[in-house]
Structure 1
């Protein structure tokens, strides 16, 4: 049976005159494009639109489009020139398969399912492992663990988590009252467990430029699951699975059945905090590029939500003006700061109170620590 696929570009049945001020077609777009396995909606939009993050606004202007994510490999995107460029989706026989995602979710599993960021105090208040079967120092799958302050019923399952990283603000002025003399806020986990290896890299400079501000939250990693056997205080749980040995002090969280959004709609934020920055990299030391993950110094309490897209700007270097000064004696030359440079776009895919995870969507230069976020225009 022939079915009409409703997808990202199916609703773009408007002429350039309607949206010329917004998401314009690229001049070098092809006449047709066949959707392939491995494509993403952002990537497809980037082939056709000068501003790929604007595609949801075009979709919203077309009420006949019920779901912009139902576009599948094999669908053919047609670009015709009747009364101006128009976009459409060629109907075809639908076969079984997964629709094309907005972003490459398969590459983000760790950040979507295994990590969450909480306030330090909230982590301290969680139920915790107080002991292990036969007084062992480490717990393994199939053994009992004993948890205090857990209100649960037999058969309930919980996640076991351990601190992995502490995110801190960008500026020295962002220090909280409990900062130490160096401006570093230590995590407040009242247990003797060491932190899990984190994917994040930060550059803690000695001049207070970044990484020395207030505590934005403690990231915790899911390291196992357990099921309640007997209630009480302590509560007895059976360790079902784990990626690491369980220790005294590990915390207990309810299992989140839907830890992340199934769909993402890239869109511009209504406003942005004045000091929004890139504060950490995932699995990188000095810089990152497209399809790599960064941590941002803004979160839900700053109005951030999943799908928001920001422009990334890199501060200009401060150099000596040898023309205005003495080129033979650079120490006497005045200094000038060069203008900041546009780097690319980052889209938020996971949001917490004061921290967000973002995916670098495109870029003309590597993103570096401390780069500034602005509205995508």
Structure 2
């Protein structure tokens, strides 16, 4: 018997790669091949005429060096802070939560430390699919004896490697985290010495999580009370533990609160600031952290230093021999609105495709077509 289903075409796709620059002789006209000299002269002339009405889209898949040069070009050559990348959007809640708790928007551990930990909690993260290189470190940790818990509404490919999968109801991450925190406190497993030495606000936190008993949390989250208790005790008793999350935590209207709820668990147990213990925000693209670290965002200079701080600006003005605008630039969404009003006339786009990634792609294409 033969199947009547159409056979999938497995012929490898081929793509043409540009070997020469292309330019248009008139707006909307066809591309033609050009020399590098002509293309660079055209770009320089056009961008020079757009000073004061310029925006830069940098790339979170590119190197630190490229992102550093991109933001420096915008600020030094074009005199604007209108530079943005997906660092600001896909993990802005992580940056906000981590900055509030630790003073920096990055994770507290290196990837290699997950190989030398005792417990790994993957919360809202299908790292096996989305972060395969990092997951190789996770697998080494598991082979070295680490236990892994997966917290995700879906039974993902990552969960297949976990000792326990906790399939919570969508949007109930905070109730679950609060229930874990309450159980740790009531079991007397919280790290009293660390809390007293390195944290503030413990009493307020304890009062906040108090209503979230295991019974209440089970009804809200759909996770059995016994499983919640198991996670709480395993995380608190582990000598070293890594708590990892990604877009399953951050891409919610309350993403920052989700991140803070997880950070509180690490502070409650003292699982931060020691080798093998920490929090790991796994970013949406391979160098989101680097793009932000290099300053390819409208409100921070390299090192996540606030543009509004006079001493910070003065330091970079001295190093770069320039004047840095003392206000935040436009983010990507703002830039598309500025295109419509005519306040933005030119865009330098590196490694991004807003014609496809913007929520309203047709509108994005229309506005970009109207640029000089």
Provide the TM-score with structure 1 as the length reference: 0.23
TM-score, normalized by length of structure 2?
Answer: 0.23
Which structure has more strand as a fraction of its residues? 1
The structure showing larger relative contact order (alpha-carbon pairs under 8 Å, at least 6 residues apart) is 2
